[in-house]
Structure 1
C-alpha cells in the first residue's frame, strides 16, 4: 500500500536525523492552543530517540512572509514539547547558519533540537536549493512526518531530499495509508461528504470522487452555487458566480451520485441573532441568505452515512461558528461518529467540529492536513511524498 521507505527501514543509531514536522499550531500570547499536531509527531520522535538518534526538528508556523517575525516563533512549541517528553529539548533561534550549525553539532543521541521557523526565510516557500542544502547539512538523514505540508514542494519538504536520503515518519505513513485505501479500495458503500464555501477549491475533488464514491453529499456555501446553476434565486447567499458553468457541467454528468440538500436554514443577516427560517430548497427571498442545511437534509444524509462502509468528510455544512447555524455540521458529525464505517475526517473546520462535538474518539482517522488530504482525494501526487526513497 505504502511504497516509500519509512524510519523502520533505516539504521539511525548514532545518527543526526532532520525531521520535518508540522508544528503549525495555534499560539496565543505565547501559549500553545490545540496540540494535536505536536502529539501526532511524538511516535516518530520517540522511536528515533529510542533507536539512538539525535533528533533535529524543523517546521513552519503561520505566515511570517519570509521575515523573522518573532510573533511566529517556534520557541513556545519547543517549550511545550519539553513538557511532553522526558528527553532534553534544545531550541535554536535560527533554522540555518551558525546558531543552528553549532546546536546541531553539539546535539547528543537521545536529545532533541527544535529549529526556528523555516518560513523566516523567503526561500522556504520558493524551494530554494541553498536553504535546502543548509538544512540538510545539519543532519545525516531526513525524515518527512509533516503530512500537512506534503502537498507543497518547499525547501524543508522536497528540497532537502536533493542532498540527503529521505524517508517517511509514522504519521505521514498513516495518513497516506488511510486516505489511499479509502480512495482506491474502499469498503462500500463509499460516501463522501464535501462542504465549505467554494466549489472552486474542490472542483478536482468532486470530479475525482464522483468516479470513486457511491454518493457525494454536498453542503455548505458550495451547495448554493449548485442551486443557482439549477436556476434558483439565491438572494444574499454566498454564490461563486464564476463557477456556475462548472457546477452545471458537474450536475449534468453526475447522475444520481451527487446529492444536494433538500431543505435549508436561511437568515435575514449574517448574524447569530438574525431572524431564521427553515425552508425547502426554493427561491430565497430578497435580503435573506442560506447559512446551513435543514433538518430533512440532516436526516437524509445521516441515513446514507449509517449504511456506509467508508465515509470521507471534508468541510462544514454551514456557518458552524455561529450556534444557530451549526446544527447541520454537528448533525453530520454525529452521524459519522455513530456509523460503523471507516471514517476519515480532513480539513480544519470538519476536524474542529468533530472535536467540539466530543466525538473525535469515535472516528477512525482525523487527518492533520487539510490541503494535503484534499489533493489526495483529488488523486494528485504529493511532492513531499514523491521525493522520499522508494522501498
Structure 2
C-alpha cells in the first residue's frame, strides 16, 4: 500500500476521498469526530501547496439529489477547523465543473457523491470523470474502504493513488491487534444477533486469548433451543481462545424501554426463550474486571446492553469505567461503540477509536478491503 507519509507531493491537484458521513439532526452535526479525523491529511496537503478536491458521501440518497443530504453544512464546519479557509462547493452534476476552475481556490468539496447513481455501481465512466480533476488520488476514507465504488476503487485505475494519514493510522492500529508482542489479548463483543457477528467472533477467537460475549446474543450461547445456538456452538468448538459468558444479566419479558426487569443467573435462562437479555448485571463485573486487569491488549466492538435505554445502559457505562483505568492498550471497533465513546466524552482514555463501522468489522473478520487493495 502506497502511503502519503512516504511520498513527496507538492503543488498538485489532489482528489481526496474522505468519509464525512456524520450523524445529523435537523441539519446540525451531532458528532464531529469524522471531520476532525481527516484534518491532519488536509493540513499536510495545504502546507505543501496542493489544491484539494474533497469527495465524500452522506447518508443514502440512492442516486438522486436530496437537500437534507447536502454536504454544504459539513463544508462550512470543516472550514472553521481550517481557520475559516473558504471551501468552494462543486454542485451536482459534476460534469459542469472543469479543471480550469481549480485556479480560483485551494480547496473544494464535491457535493454528495452518492447523488450520482453511478457511484455505487463503480461506474468506469464516473471514475474517469472524477480523475480528470486531479493529478493524484488519496484515500483517507477508511470507513468507506470496504465499498467497491467509483470514488473508493474505480478511480485508482486512472490516477497514482495513496493512503492518507487516517487510513495509515487505522491499518497500523488494527494490525497491532494480531501482533505476537502481547501475551494476553481480550476481545469484548456485544450485539443482539450472533449471525451479525459470527465471522468477527470466529476470527478473533482463533487469534486472541479471551472473547467476552455481551448483549442479547448471550442467549444463543446458553439456550440450546435458540435459533442461533448452532452458530454459537460452532464458535465455541473452533475457538483457540476462551469464550466468556457473563454470570448475571438483566432480563425482561418484553423488548422495550420500560419493561419490568430483574437480575438472574445466566444459567437460569437456558430453557426460557421468551426472556430478553437487556444488559449485563453489575454482579458480573467482578469476574470481567479480572480479565480486563490481566490483559495487555483489548478490543471492544458493540455495546453490552441496550445503551440507548437508560435502564439498560449501566453495563456499558461500567465497562467504559473499567477500560478507562486499565493499563492495557485499548481499541474501539468503530460504529455504535465509537459513538458511545464520543457521547460519554471518554476518547482520551483509549489507544485508538476506529472511524469505521462496516469497514472495521470486515477488517477484523479477516477480509480484504477493496479500497485498500486498490492502493497496492
Length-normalised TM-score, structure 2: 0.94
- Residue 344 of structure 2 corresponds to residue 353 of structure 1: no
Match of 2:192 in 1: 197
Match of 2:91 among 65, 90, 93: 93
**8 A Cα contact 1:63 1:119, kept in partner:** yes
RMSD of aligned alpha carbons: 1.8
2: distance between equivalents of 1:43 and 1:270? Answer: 43
The count of aligned residue pairs is 373
- Say whether residues 1:245 and 2:226 are aligned partners: no
Trace 1:221-240 onto structure 2 (pairs within 5 A): 221-229=216-224
Aligned residue for 1:221, secondary structure, equals: coil
Deviation at 1:256, TM superposition (A): 6.3
User: Is the alpha carbon distance of 1:228 and 1:109 closer, same or farther for their aligned partners in structure 2, counting shifts above 3 Å?
Assistant: farther
CA contact (8 A) 1:218 1:259 kept: yes
Contact conserved, 1:126 with 1:154, CA < 8 A, in 2? Answer: yes
Range 177-186 or range 161-170, more displaced: 177-186
Q: CA deviation at 1:286?
A: 7.6
**How far, CA to CA, are the matches of 2:328 and 2:266 in structure 1?**
29
How far the C-alpha of 1:268 sits from its partner, in A, is 3.4
Kindly state the Cα deviation for residue 20 of structure 1 after the two structures are TM-superposed: 0.5
SS, match of residue 178 in structure 2: helix
Judged with a 3 Å threshold, the aligned counterparts in structure 2 of structure 1 residues 200 and 286 are, in CA distance, closer, same or farther, namely: closer
Q: 1:309 aligns with which of 290, 293, 296?
A: 296
Cα deviation for residue 358 of structure 1 reads: 3.1
**Conserved 8 A contact 1:95-1:118:** no
| Alpha-carbon distance between aligned partners in 2 of 1:50 and 1:274, rounded to the nearest angstrom | 56
Question: 57, 61, 80: which one pairs with 1:64?
Answer: 61
* 1:325 matched residue in structure 2: 312
Structure 1 counterpart of 2:48: 51
Any gaps of 5 or more consecutive residues in structure 2?
Answer: none
Q: Secondary structure at the match of 2:14?
A: strand
Cα distance, 1:143 vs. partner? 0.2
Q: Within 2, Cα distance between the matches of 1:251 and 1:185?
A: 23
1:95 Cα shift? 6.2
Per-residue deviation at 1:165?
1.2
5+ unaligned residues in a row in structure 1: which ranges? Answer: 232-238
CA contact (8 A) 2:16 2:139 kept: yes
Deviates more, 1:343-352 or 1:319-328: 343-352
Using structure 1 for the length normalisation, give the TM-score: 0.91
How many Å separate the matches in 1 of 2:43 and 2:273? Answer: 58
